């Protein structure tokens, strides 16, 4: 275990905010993670678990121990006539796993191409895009209990998946460290291309015979056209969740805003947060070195020398304006530190 002091986290968060960790270490095994947690407990320090840094907003220095999860490995652990079970280290880059699966014609995660972050964060956030969520391909995960330092296995049901939610963001927040995730992938594709944008790109490319690689390339093209590269403009992707509102509220809003889009869900109607933010006039807004992206209103950005606290203030201003204009409460998808 190598504990470093006063380490900048600028390169370890996709917003690129230059905040420091009082102490920092990397954990590439269960044993090194246990050692780091033990060390922090003995010194009565707060602990921040860091993956790809793509879903956090650093608003201040972290006065404690930052542990970067770097457990690696992709292993085929089971298969039957139709499915493959693949166990993946939490520190693997998510898109690298997607590419690995596509190269082997393992289907199920092609729609989740180019989502930033690591594998360990994927079930925590229940990441999703273009009709597919982690819960659709998830089998189980192994996590370390931060209090007992024991490893525990969580089944699909135990994770309590919801829209960009899991038990690890609610009841068990900050109580476990995810070390590996096992996915149940398909030997034969079950294509999810009902989203118009995917169909449009496939048509433009002249794709007549669908493959998981073609779907992946279409998703990548769409994401690159709408979302800024964090290596160029600091951002954490979608900053807010798409809100779900009751059907009667949606009907009232339709009367006032005839163009408001909505998608039926089990809990009501899901409304695109980006549309709401754009209608409220925020798209392209800039204040100092932070702002709202000019191509996608759902993305808040750091143009270079901004501060996380400025993004936090901006996000609150956006939430208030949406509340006043539409009567809808936006919830951040990004975790504030």
Task: Give every CB contact of residue 101 below 8 A, 6+ residues apart in sequence.
Answer: 86, 107, 108, 109, 110, 185
256 is catalytic: no
Distance CA 293, CA 229 (A): 11
Structure tokens at 73: 């490995």
| Burial call 94-133: b when 16+ CB within 10 Å, e when fewer | bbebbbbbbeeebbbbbbbbbbbbbbbbbbbbbbbbbebb
Question: Is 238 noted as a catalytic residue in this protein?
Answer: yes
CA atoms in the 13 A half-sphere facing the CB of 96: 13
* Cα–Cα dist 184/191, whole Å: 16
Indicate which residue of 110, 238, 310, 315 is catalytic.
238
Beta bridge partners of 121: none
Query: What is the bridge-based pairing of β-strands 62-69 and 46-50?
Result: parallel
Q: Most distant CA pair in the chain: distance in Å?
A: 61
Tell me, yes or no, if 333 is annotated catalytic.
Answer: yes
- Whole-number Å distance between alpha carbons of 177 and 159: 13
Secondary structure (DSSP) of 108-134: S-GGGTT--SBTTHHHHHT-EETTEEG
Two tokens, residue 228: 């800024």
Q: How long is the chain?
A: 337
Catalytic residue, chosen from 164, 166, 180, 217, is 164
Sign of CA dihedral 168, 12, 299, 318: positive
What's the per-residue H, E or C state across 208-253?
Answer: CCCCHHHHHHHHHHHHHHHCCCCCCCEECCCCECCCEECHHHHHHH
Secondary structure (3-state) at 192: coil
- Cite the active site residues: 164, 238, 333
């Amino acid at each position: 275990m190598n504990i470093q002091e006063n380490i900048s986290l600028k390169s370890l968060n996709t917003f690129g905010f230059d905040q420091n960790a009082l102490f920092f270490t990397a954990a590439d095994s269960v044993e090194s993670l246990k050692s780091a947690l033990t060390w922090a407990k003995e010194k009565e320090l707060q602990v921040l678990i860091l993956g790809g840094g793509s879903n956090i907003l650093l608003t201040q220095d972290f006065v404690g121990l930052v542990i970067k999860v770097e457990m690696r490995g992709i292993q085929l652990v089971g298969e039957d006539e139709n499915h493959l079970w693949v166990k993946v280290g939490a520190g693997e880059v998510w898109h690298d796993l997607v590419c690995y699966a596509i190269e082997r014609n393992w289907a199920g995660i092609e729609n989740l191409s180019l989502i930033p972050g690591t594998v360990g964060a994927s079930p925590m956030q229940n990441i999703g895009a273009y009709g597919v969520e982690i819960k659709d391909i998830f089998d189980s995960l192994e996590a370390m209990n931060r209090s007992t330092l024991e490893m525990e296995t969580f089944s699909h049901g135990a994770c309590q998946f919801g829209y960009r939610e899991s038990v690890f963001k609610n009841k068990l927040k900050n109580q476990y460290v995810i070390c590996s995730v096992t996915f149940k992938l398909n030997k034969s594709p079950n294509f999810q291309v009902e989203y118009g944008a995917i169909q449009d790109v496939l048509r433009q490319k002249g794709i007549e015979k669908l493959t998981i690689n073609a779907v992946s390339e279409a998703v990548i093209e769409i994401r690159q056209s709408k979302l800024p590269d964090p290596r160029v403009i600091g951002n954490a992707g979608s900053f807010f969740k798409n809100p779900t509102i009751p059907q009667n509220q949606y009907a009232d809003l339709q009367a006032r805003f005839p163009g408001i889009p909505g998608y039926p869900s089990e809990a009501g109607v899901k409304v695109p947060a980006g549309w709401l933010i754009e209608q409220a006039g925020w798209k392209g807004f800039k204040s100092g070195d932070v702002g709202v992206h000019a191509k996608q209103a759902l993305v808040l950005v750091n143009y270079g020398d901004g501060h996380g606290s400025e993004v936090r203030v901006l996000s609150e201003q956006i939430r208030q304006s949406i509340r006043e204009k539409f009567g809808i409460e936006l919830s951040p998808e990004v975790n504030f530190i």
